[in-house]
């Protein structure tokens, strides 16, 4: 379980199967912006905000939530070997920023911002997929939507690829992967709801020998 430093209060939630699971939460108790960090690095990471330890020992698959004052911050992830990777993040009041950590073929940990700049039309929702799974490289990705036919989000869904957002109706959705060129699913999120005006990014991420999903609410 992550350890709290300074004045931070930490809550570690149990893993849920299809949502933004394995969620570590740190809060200063005085701020209203959020930074969420997805660990897809394949190794435990310590996460710092402005040089203060916020989450210790974040594991692969974890989504760590840090509450921060609006403004410009530096998020740092530190490996077990003591190597730091820094990312400047600017937060707004009641705003939400997502970052993700992954490991390059050369072994370096990268930390990047995930863009969320799109707004659904009136009464609509938007959804996309993001592949942080090396095990799921080259698959096709689909979404089933309420009251409509299934939609292919992307063919040949390679590692680190993001699909475009699609727009649809509020209600129950599901995202699933298929072998390239087929429509038979090999992994699926299960059903999840998107409220009117909501956005979701469905992240595919490795868990041991198979890919799993994290559904990020935006």
Please identify, among 57, 92, 114, the residue that sits at the C-terminal boundary of a domain: 114
3 assigned to some structural domain: no
pLDDT of residue 116: 74
pLDDT at 1: 37
For residue 68, give its domain range. 9-114
Are 136 and 101 found together in one domain? no
The string of pLDDT tens digits covering residues 92-105 is: 998 999 999 999 99
175 and 209 in one domain? Answer: yes
Note the pLDDT tens digit of each residue in 18-62: 443 445 555 555 558 999 999 999 999 999 999 999 999 999 999
Quick one: three-class SS letters along 106-163? CCCEEEEEECCCCCCCCCEEEEEEEEECCCCCCEEEEEECCCCCCEEEEEEECCCCEC
1 assigned to some structural domain: no
CATH number of the domain enclosing 60? 2.60.40.2890
Note the pLDDT of residue 15: 39
- Arithmetic mean of pLDDT, 98-121: 92
Residue 101, φ and ψ in degrees, nearest 5? -110, 135
* pLDDT at residue 32 in the model: 82
Q: What is the predicted pLDDT for the residue at 6?
A: 32
Please determine, for residue 9, whether its predicted confidence score (pLDDT) is greater than 50.
no
Last residue of one domain, picked from the residues 114, 138, 161? 114
Query: Given this model, what pLDDT does residue 137 score?
Result: 87
pLDDT digits (tens, 9 = 90+) for 62-84: 999 999 999 999 999 999 999 99
For the segment 106-132, the average pLDDT, to the nearest whole number, is: 93
Q: What angle do CA 126, 133, 88 make, to 5 degrees?
A: 70
Q: Are residues 185 and 133 in the same domain?
A: yes
Average pLDDT, the chain: 87
The pLDDT > 70 percentage for the chain reads 86
**157 and 69 share one domain:** no
State how many domains the chain has.
Answer: 2
Dist CA 166 CA 26 (whole Å): 32
Extract the tokens encoding 171: 């209600």
* pLDDT for 209: 86
Residues 95 and 152 in one domain: no
Closest CA to 165 of 118, 204, 217, 215: 118
Average pLDDT estimate for 169-176:
96
CA distance 177 to 171: 20
At residue 197, the 3 state secondary structure works out as coil
Tell me the longest C-alpha to C-alpha distance in the chain. Answer: 52
- Is the same domain home to 96 and 163? no
How deeply is 55 buried, as exposed, middle or buried, from its count of CB atoms within 10 A (0-12, 13-18, 19+)? buried
7: DSSP letter: T
Predicted confidence band of residue 208 (pLDDT cuts 50, 70, 90) = confident
Instruction: Identify the pLDDT of residue 151.
Output: 95
Whether pLDDT at 16 is above 70: no
Check residue 212 and give its pLDDT.
Answer: 94
Distances (CA, A) of 157 to 130, 154, 161, 190, 218: 9, 6, 6, 19, 22
> Are both 103 and 144 inside the same structural domain?
no
* 3-state SS class at 25: strand
Q: In 3-state terms, the chain is what percent helix, strand and coil (to 5)?
A: 0, 55, 45
Q: Does position 193 have pLDDT exceeding 50, yes or no?
A: yes
């Amino acid at each position: 379980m992550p350890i709290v430093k300074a004045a931070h209060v930490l809550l570690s939630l149990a893993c849920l199967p299809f949502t933004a699971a394995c969620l570590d939460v740190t809060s200063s108790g005085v701020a209203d912006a959020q930074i969420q960090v997805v660990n897809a690095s394949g190794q435990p990471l310590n996460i710092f905000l402005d040089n203060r330890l916020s989450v210790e020992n974040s594991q692969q698959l974890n989504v760590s939530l840090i509450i921060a004052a609006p403004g410009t911050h530096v998020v740092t992830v530190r490996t077990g070997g003591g190597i730091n990777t820094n990312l400047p993040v600017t937060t707004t009041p009641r705003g939400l920023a997502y970052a993700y950590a992954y490991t390059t073929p050369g072994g370096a940990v990268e930390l990047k911002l995930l863009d969320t700049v799109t707004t659904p039309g009136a009464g609509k929702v938007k959804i996309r997929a993001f592949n942080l799974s090396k095990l799921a490289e080259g698959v096709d990705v689909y979404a089933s939507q309420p009251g409509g036919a299934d939609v292919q989000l992307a063919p040949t869904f390679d590692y680190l690829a993001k699909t475009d957002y699609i727009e649809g109706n509020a209600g129950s959705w599901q995202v699933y992967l298929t072998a390239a060129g087929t429509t038979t699913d090999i992994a699926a999120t299960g059903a999840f709801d998107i409220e009117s005006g909501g956005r979701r990014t469905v992240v595919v991420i490795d868990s041991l020998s198979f890919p799993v999903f994290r559904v990020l609410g935006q």
